[in-house]
Structure 1
Amino acid sequence: MKRHAGAASALAPTKNRLSIEDRLEHRELVLRRSIEALSVLAQKFPHDVETSPQVARSVAAQENRWRAMESEFGMLDSTAVARELGNSATNRNKASQLVKEGKLLGVKRGNKTFFPKFEFDLAAGKVRPVISDVVRIAGDRWSGESLLQWFCAPNGFLDGRRPVDVIDDEAALLSTARKSLAEEW
């Protein structure tokens, strides 16, 4: 059997590619750290609270989605929002005010609220106006956190693309929001 000259080198480990053993070792480390972290959390539950495996998986999946969003887009805290919007860095109330007005969406993480950077036109120093349009279309049927997840989930009305992928195409985004978020009778 004749092999291509590059076939052997394509299979050889490189600096950018980990060997199978290294990948398995890394996965094992991640798994052990996850188990340790979940054990610490489980110990904080009241003794009369029993958590099903399904609930634990759901919580872990939700956490993974927030981490993926943070990794891909970055998040701003209230102070950073004020700074990016040209307000005093100490005016942390600006973000809360924008949330109350339906112009910004945030996610509570621990005791702080964070705001994905895709909601902002940082070059212009403002929140993207289309965010408030989507919030208005969704009405009170969707929480802010649910809408943030909606932005980052593949959508059939966009042929599998995510709403965040078309955030600069206001017409496409709003059409998709009307089809998938609006109340139907």
Structure 2
Amino acid sequence: MATTSVDIDEDTLKQAKKVAGTTSDRETVDLALRALIAMRRQPELENALSRLRSVVDPATARAAQATENVWREIADEFGLLKSGEVGALLGASKSNREFVSIRRNRGELLGVVRNNGYLYPGFQFDRSTGTIKAWVKPLLELAREHSMGAVDVLFWMMTPTIYFGGDRPADHAGEGDRLLDVAGRSWSVHW
């Protein structure tokens, strides 16, 4: 993390700490910057909500934001690759989107539709060898047996579970057999 020095009026900083209930200068500035960014983004959200034909209750708005946060977490932490990027990673030409589409349709790749196109979460690839991890195809077969779609699998991979001691399955993407065992056990639970 880069350290940046800025001049801030000492009285203003003290007042901001008191209002924010923070103890350090860094925490105060961080909170102020996040609040500023949120305020600047609010008109975008208001514009999007105003185009909806029905009223959005607060619970639905919170759920939508939580879902968007997971998408962004996946993109930031693992990457959400486009078809061309996956093709290049797997050794095909970047323009050969059919290469990736065939593997997705065969159930060899986890691909999810987002913003009118397929994206592929990076945790399913071994980037050092340019291959798809061996557990992907069996996991997708298991998901089909349990009537789970690609987004269901993706979000399951990002949800902490007691089967992994509170970790997310994606945190154990290097443990294929264990990942498949946990998926089978957790997806078989019926209430």
Please classify the TM superposition score into its range, dividing by the shorter chain length.
0.7 to 0.9
Asked whether 1:136 is paired with 2:135, we answer no
1:114 aligns with 2:127: no
How many matched pairs? 170
2:187 maps to a residue whose letter is L
Structure 2 contact 135–177 (Cα < 8 Å) conserved: no
> 2:181, 2:27 → 1: CA distance?
45
TM-score of the two chains, using structure 2 as the length reference? 0.80
Letter of the aligned partner of 1:97 in structure 2? I
Residue 52 of structure 2 is aligned to residue 45 of structure 1: yes
| Distance in 2 between residues matched to 1:181 and 1:136, nearest whole Å | 12
Separation in structure 1 between the aligned mates of residue 96 and residue 152 of structure 2, nearest angstrom: 26
Q: Which one-letter code corresponds to 1:142 in the other structure? A: M
Indicate the larger mover: 58-67 or 101-110. 101-110
Structure 2 distance, partners of 1:18, 1:26, is 12
| Partner Cα separation in structure 1 for residue 30 and residue 190 of structure 2 | 47
User: TM-score of the superposition, structure 1-length normalised?
Assistant: 0.82
Runs of 4+ in 1 over 3 A off after TM superposition: 14-18, 182-185
- Give deviations 1:102-131, integer Å, cap 9, x for gaps: 121123232222111111112222211201
| Whole-Å separation in 1 of the counterparts to 2:100 and 2:133 | 13
CA pair 174-18 structure 1, distance change in 2 beyond 3 A:
farther
Q: CA RMSD in A?
A: 2.2
Question: Does residue 99 of the first structure (1) align with residue 104 of the second (2)?
Answer: yes
Structure 1 residue 29: deviation in Å? 1.3
- Shift in alpha-carbon separation, 1:74–1:18, aligned structure 2, 3 A: farther
Please say if 1:24 is aligned against 2:47. no
Structure 2: state its 5+ residue gaps: 6-23
Q: Is 1:77 paired with 2:82?
A: yes
Task: Point out where structure 1 has 5 or more consecutive residues left out of the alignment.
Answer: 1-13
